[in-house]
Amino acid sequence: MKTRNKKRPRFKDEDAERAFWSTHSPLDYFDTAQRKRATFPNLKPSLKSISIRLPEDMIDELKVLANKRDVPYQSLAKLYLSWGIESERRRPKAAH
């Protein structure tokens, strides 16, 4: 049984709106049958800093390669990691 959606109230300010939504369900005020999937193509992925120990000669070589491409060496390292991960995903799975 479908219930009729309630009319959304008007709020005098954000505090009043915040207080209202903290005690009411948005599902009572929005027609979920009319919803559409949202896409946000310009959002950047969340980043998390990590610490990784690498041999100095590997870092030096990475810096040389990055300099040739005119990119930061950290960006080139992320690109190489991405390529390696993608390569592993494409490999056939070994039988156990």
* pLDDT, averaged in runs of 10, over the chain (96 residues): 70 92 86 81 86 96 96 95 93 74
For the full predicted model, state whether its pTM sits above 0.75: no
Residue 89's alpha-carbon distances to 81, 86, 92, 95, in angstroms, are 12, 5, 8, 15
pLDDT at 9: 87
Q: What is the pLDDT of residue 1?
A: 42
73 close to 63: Cβ distance less than 8 angstroms: yes
